[in-house]
Structure 1
Amino acid sequence: MDGRKKVLGEERRALLLKLLKNSPTPLTGSELAAEANVSRQVVVGDMTLLKARKEPIIATSQGYLYMKNDSPEPVFEKIIACSHPSNRTEEELNLLVDYGVTVKDVKIVHPVYGDLTASVQVSNRSEVKQFIERIKKTKAAYLLELTNGIHLHTISAASEKALQEAEEALRKANFLVAGN
């Protein structure tokens, strides 16, 4: 924070919302904090409040993203069940994005907590690389490590054909759970 005046309360949340809505890419908590001249922790609290107000904000590995649904072209979605060791995650994600697919999330069914979902939001190899680097840098565990490799992905694409081709490529590479 510098000598500029802090943006307070509702005015700050309105500013953060405007920044997110106008950004085509995710914005980090640090970037948002710098714009409002507050700490990153304040931004985290603001994001929680905005989400509670049903604003479609998601936290991705690259930062916060406002999920606009103003796309004129239809988006097709599918949930797929995969299984692999963590050291094949980059291969799996690259295979999917190479078919024009966005990997929206990863889900597991935890024996105690039930359904756990985390945003992934990768659509190209550059975003996959950033995601993998962030996992390595933070030494975070992949969710699939909690379920012996079994996990689900919500995938989306501009056509059903892209989803089908990506799914077939996963099958050939032995990423899909049998019966999927």
Structure 2
Amino acid sequence: MKGKKILGDERRELILDWLKSSGQPITGSDLAAKTNVSRQVIVSDITLLKAKNEPIIATSQGYLYMSNPVKRIERIVACTHKPEQTEEELLLLVNLGVTVLDVKIEHAVYGDLTASIMVSNPKEVQQFIDKIHSTNASYLSELTNGVHLHTLSAASEEVLDKAEEALRRNGFLIE
């Protein structure tokens, strides 16, 4: 690392300002480089900011500040599919105007596990899929033979109804 480390409160204030003004996710690595600290220090900083009720969420694209969240309707749906069908499932949903907030599974040992996805358009879906492949990570649903829940968000119940029907038609919905 080059340059002077930015310390504690000053660093967290800068991180908050960058996240608020960005409107786009910023990776922990980018924040670490800007402040001359490790990514792990950034993870701790984000945890401290969240503890102060700052609306920061971790997405697969980086950290995002949720200022003025738009009122949207949420619904949880139960799905199942093979890992290679994940991109098809996510594109089906985002192309209908749905944001896929997360994936949840019920693990035999750990109980409920939830991971943020936060994809709302084809580009974000592609970034998510590319990141899974480039890191050789497994999909959370692989731990449950494809069975998982998604929290979906949309502007209206009608959009969520259409999304649920599309999942049903494509054999992804568990009823």
Match of 2:17, SS state, is helix
> What's the offset of the Cα at 1:31?
1.4
Q: Which residue of 2 aligns with 1:8?
A: 7
> What's the offset of the Cα at 1:64?
0.8
Q: 94-103 or 27-36, which moves further after superposition?
A: 27-36
Q: Which residue of 2 aligns with 1:156?
A: 153
Please, which runs of 5 or more residues in structure 1 have no aligned partner?
Answer: none
Q: 25-34 or 132-141, which moves further after superposition?
A: 25-34
Q: Quick one: distance in 2 between partners of 1:13 and 1:82? A: 38
> What's the offset of the Cα at 1:140?
0.6
Normalized against structure 1, the TM-score is what?
0.92
1:95 to 85, 92, 95: 92
Please, which runs of 5 or more residues in structure 2 have no aligned partner?
Answer: none
Q: Quick one: distance in 2 between partners of 1:42 and 1:112? A: 29
**Structure 2 residue identity aligned to 1:134:** K
Q: Which residue of 2 aligns with 1:105?
A: 102
Aligned length: 175
Q: Quick one: distance in 1 between partners of 2:86 and 2:50? A: 29
**Structure 2 residue identity aligned to 1:2:** K
Change (3 A) 1:100 1:47: same
User: 1:78-157, aligned counterparts within 5 Å?
Assistant: 78-157=75-154
Q: Quick one: distance in 1 between partners of 2:53 and 2:143? A: 30
Q: Quick one: distance in 2 between partners of 1:46 and 1:125? A: 31
Q: Quick one: distance in 1 between partners of 2:69 and 2:126? A: 27
Match of 1:79, SS state, is strand
**Structure 2 residue identity aligned to 1:123:** S
> What's the offset of the Cα at 1:52?
2.6
Q: Which residue of 2 aligns with 1:31?
A: 30
Which aligned segments of 4 or more residues in structure 1 are displaced greater than 3 angstroms?
A: none
Q: Quick one: distance in 2 between partners of 1:129 and 1:67? A: 22
Q: Which residue of 2 aligns with 1:41?
A: 40
Q: Quick one: distance in 1 between partners of 2:108 and 2:67? A: 34
> What's the offset of the Cα at 1:136?
0.5
Match of 2:37, SS state, is coil
Match of 1:33, SS state, is helix
> What's the offset of the Cα at 1:7?
1.3
Match of 1:88, SS state, is helix
Superposed CA RMSD in Å reads 1.2
